[in-house]
Amino acid sequence: MEWQPRLAAAQPATDVAPADSWARVRNVLLRAVAKHCPSDLASLREDLVQTALLKVLERGMGDGGGGEASRASYLRKMAFTVVIDELRRKRRQDAQRVALAASPESQAAPPDVGFAIRECLERLPEPRRMAVTLYLQGSRTSETARALKWKEKRVENMLYRGLDELRQCLGSKGVE
């Protein structure tokens, strides 16, 4: 990748975050991508994160959203955004390759457990569906409460009932 920083050698970068913040964000993103991405993408995490951060650097930090948000927070958000864009782009490329290579038989393969879970999720009443979906995504009770602006007690109730219904639904589908 061509390295074209937007800064001249002796010119201060008036709109980027301190160097340590970059190193920090890089490490955090590397760990997150390694943990949550499919193995084929996780193996590319160095390239993905590197590409993303360089894009952020080239693009510049702007004023961090009206100049009020801290630069480091803004850097994390920007870096996350570019990493996810890179992941999506890579996934779409892979999907195209898979689709081209797949035989009609493999495309007609029976739905997996993940598919059944999603089908059952759709049948849940909305509040329970929200709580269970976020639980399955890995959110803690406090994180779900923050995202949905609920009380934690409500999250727990919706999650308890929702998981129970989900299991019943999966059981009716013969999912073990």
Q: Does 139 bind other proteins (CB under 8 A)?
A: yes
Q: Does 134 bind other proteins (CB under 8 A)?
A: yes
Q: Among residue numbers 14 through 53, which ones bind other proteins (CB under 8 A)? A: 14-24, 26-29, 31-33, 35-38, 50, 53
CA distances from 132 to 3, 16, 106, 147 (A): 44, 39, 30, 13
How far from chain centre, in Å, is Cα 161?
26
Compute and round to an integer the Cα radius of gyration of the chain: 21
- Tokens 């779900």, residue? 144
The CB-of-59 to other proteins minimum distance in angstroms stands at 13
Nearer to other proteins, 43 or 70 (CB): 70
Q: Could you tell me which residues come within 8 angstroms of residue 42 by beta carbon, excluding any fewer than 6 positions away?
A: 33, 34, 35
Q: Among residue numbers 99 through 128, which ones bind other proteins (CB under 8 A)? A: 99, 102, 107, 112-114, 117-118, 121-122, 126
The CB-of-20 to other proteins minimum distance in angstroms stands at 5
